[in-house]
Structure 1
Amino acid sequence: MLTLGASNPKALYLHIPFCTTRCSYCAFYSEPESSWRGFQETYVSRLEQEIAGVVQETGGFETIFIGGGNPGSLTCEQLSRLLVAAKSNQCSEVTVEMNPETFSESYFPLFEKKLVTRLSMGIQSMDDSVLRQLGRNAKVEDNLRAIALAKKAHGLYGIDLSFDLMAALPGQSIQMALQDIDTVVSLGDPGHISLYCLTVEEGTDLARRVSERELKVWDDDGQMELLERLWNRLGLLGYEHYEVSNFARNGRYCKHNLVYWDLDTYIGLGSSAASFLQSESHSWHYSQKQDLHPFAEGTLFSGYEKEMLDSDQLVEEYLMMALRTNRGIEKNLFKTRFSLDFDSLFSKTITNFDPLWYNDTSHLFVLSKVGWMVLDEIVLRLALQIPQPLDRH
């Protein structure tokens, strides 16, 4: 059962686990249309009531993000109800994800009424053969139509635009990936781009095809070369590389994701949604364990499981999040937050890092772009230096 206690979350995430079909690489929880058709209304009804209960307790949120799955599986009216319950017009940023094949002008009232201020769209690739390999429902013609519609919405209502692209895809060349960036920027002129390397997640259809050698994925050296080329191209186009996988023009950062990267408080509602909450003396996660049907038919706030976090777990999560950003770690804030001295804890380990990986001053520790390439290794080596409670040894 979810209860907030003394916590006052800054951000709200709503998970819509509906997709037409499942992409081959996707490890997020979603259900195909054959499973959710007829359950949209009961799912939305419970979500709407949970939102209202949380807002009554907290007063509202600074940012809201509706993701999935594909929120475009809901009607404009259903999305409006969720956002009205969340009092979204009081937020500084409200993002909704949309898949290109389901985005239409029927959703424009969300922008006109200022219920949504930011549209995030998963383009992924501008090549039909690559899209087929990914199991995407959208074709290039769907992407082109959706980009044009998104730009129209930006012109009419001033919403921010963000497009997702994927790299290191089977059958994709460096030149194809560069062309994807050029096409999306020239046609959509987005203020924000997310660029992700393909990850082969266990249990996905992609993982099966790779293990059975139906598909060949890029090796680490190839990915590093590709990312360097793509990151440079985005820089030349005026995008600031402000997080490992995210780029913004003119400071159009995703404020909602900054909450995650700052390890600030947020609450997630809906199937598989996660929360991070804090009081003066404790920190904890909630995770929603109910799948679509149990959630839609369940009692309010049931299915949310609580996990308390030790101080060492909290520091490890902070390292993992903060080092993803170009702001890195401010050492005075680290000491205030965790009562630990950053240099005393990590300086010996850092001296053994490749100097090209980082910039270290008396005030800041920030990874370079080269360091971002080996982020997991860096975080692991630092995490080993965190003092752990006796019951964790």
Structure 2
Amino acid sequence: MAGVYIHIPFCASRCIYCDFFSSTDSSWRGRYVDAVCREWTMRRHELEGEPVETLYFGGGTPSTLMPAEREQLFQALAEGIDWKACREVTYEANPDDVTPEFIASLKDTPVNRLSMGVQSFSDADLSFLHRRHTSRAAVEAVERCFAAGYDNLSIDLIYGLPGQTIEGWRANLRQALALGVPHISAYNLIYEEGTALWSMRERGLVKECDEELSLQMFDELIDRLAAAGYEHYETSNFARDGRYARHNTSYWKGTPYLGLGAAAHSYDGRTRRFNPASLSEYIGAIQTGRVAYAEERESADSLYNERILTSLRTCWGLDLSRLRADFGEARAQYCLEQAQPHIRAGRLALDDGILRITRAGLFTSDDVMSDLFWVD
């Protein structure tokens, strides 16, 4: 089993908080799609015969592609992917792009899951974030997908915005729950260096949300979604009826994946590969028949630390017997010893050899996990 990720870096406009590699210059699109198709041909052997179970189009904004460009990608991917065996094909979309024509153009593709970057159902929040859709447009986009038979939907929300109130966040959650989407991802706003939001804070134009208020919003998120039947299966992700994001879950479980496109990453269980975050460099390399990536062999220490990080983010937790089998007794014992203060404080729980972050430890989970890292 393996996954394929395709990065579509084009956006109609840039959001103030986003630090993903993206471009608003659509003149590159045709050459870029050609390059991704060629990269797939050049690199699909890296999956070592593993069947592709998940495919994810992320961005950027994949929904900015034209139908012919999307068709070109799927035709190329068909050489190597058995669509009947590929269980999840996710396509990210901006609500403004989810028109009847867009949905109709997806009907002839293998896409069976849509992920929409709603971020907020407040027009004031959306304007602040420089999102190009309105709250009404987001609601209509979701309803349009359901009406067309696309019921495997996920929406993204952001909380902890400057000036956001707990009442405003509750209104967001009420609207999200009223739509009945089976999957919701919710993230605390992060000020990433190099973004417009970072610059605004540095110049005193915005003030970060108080940490206690962000924690209150996180608690509200967990309580309301649990009451509505959503399982909190990963730090920022909630699903009903087992509708986990299979592709993202494979990252947390260490499944190999191949990343195509500028700034895309790949992992085969031993080595990580990183494509350049540059359209000209990426396309130039592919056009001359060269792979574009740099690579880094993972050490035992880094693989151990990643196991801690990815496992404890999920409801499945960290299996200590598997940790012992993969990394040895010394590291497993070290992990258990380092966990003891957090177990006593109620931030971690140990049950039948599985270590999990508790509700009390969720908001400080980064600190909890870092204490378990192996540091020479």
- Please give the range of the TM-score, normalised by the shorter of the 2 chains: over 0.9
Superposed structure 1 runs of 4+ greater than 3 Å apart: 52-60, 340-343
1:251 alignment partner in structure 2:
242
Q: Does 1:382 align with 2:361?
A: no
Q: Deviations over 1:268-302 (max 9, x none)?
A: 11011111113xxxx11111114123323432453
1:190 alignment partner in structure 2:
181
Alpha-carbon distance in structure 2 between the residues aligned to 1:152 and 1:338: 49
The 1:251–1:301 alpha-carbon spacing in structure 2 relative to 1, beyond 3 Å, is farther
Q: Does 1:176 align with 2:168?
A: yes
Q: Does 1:288 align with 2:269?
A: no
List gaps (5 residues or longer) in structure 2. none
Name which of 127, 132, 136 aligns with 1:141.
136
Whether contact under 8 Å (1:288, 1:303) holds in the other structure is yes
Q: Does 1:92 align with 2:87?
A: yes
Q: Deviations over 1:366-389 (max 9, x none)?
A: 111221211111121111xx264x
Q: Does 1:151 align with 2:146?
A: yes
The 1:49–1:366 alpha-carbon spacing in structure 2 relative to 1, beyond 3 Å, is same
Listed as ranges, the matches of 1:1-393 within 5 Å are: 10-32=2-24, 35=25, 37-55=26-44, 58=47, 59=49, 60-87=51-78, 89=83, 90-109=85-104, 111-113=106-108, 115-153=110-148, 156=149, 158-187=150-179, 189-278=180-269, 283-299=270-286, 300-340=289-329, 343-353=332-342, 354-383=344-373, 386=374, 388=376
Whether contact under 8 Å (1:130, 1:170) holds in the other structure is no
Amino acid at match of 2:279: L
Larger displacement relative to structure 2 (111-120 or 61-70) = 111-120
The SS at the match of 2:52 is coil
The SS at the match of 1:38 is helix
Whether contact under 8 Å (2:166, 2:213) holds in the other structure is no
Alpha-carbon distance in structure 2 between the residues aligned to 1:159 and 1:114: 16
TM-score of the aligned structures, taking structure 2 as reference length: 0.92
TM superposition shift of 1:339:
2.7
The SS at the match of 2:362 is helix
Alpha-carbon distance in structure 1 between the residues aligned to 2:321 and 2:105: 42
Whether contact under 8 Å (1:95, 1:120) holds in the other structure is yes
TM superposition shift of 1:135:
1.4
Alpha-carbon distance in structure 2 between the residues aligned to 1:200 and 1:284: 30
Larger displacement relative to structure 2 (200-209 or 143-152) = 143-152
Amino acid at match of 1:344: Q
The SS at the match of 2:102 is helix
List gaps (5 residues or longer) in structure 1. 1-8, 389-393
Amino acid at match of 1:358: L
Whether contact under 8 Å (2:4, 2:54) holds in the other structure is yes
Amino acid at match of 1:379: M
The SS at the match of 1:144 is helix
Alpha-carbon distance in structure 2 between the residues aligned to 1:17 and 1:99: 13
Whether contact under 8 Å (2:71, 2:109) holds in the other structure is no
RMSD: 1.9
Alpha-carbon distance in structure 2 between the residues aligned to 1:387 and 1:170: 36
The SS at the match of 2:27 is coil
Whether contact under 8 Å (2:36, 2:261) holds in the other structure is yes
- Size of the aligned set, in residue pairs, is 367
Alpha-carbon distance in structure 2 between the residues aligned to 1:159 and 1:301: 40
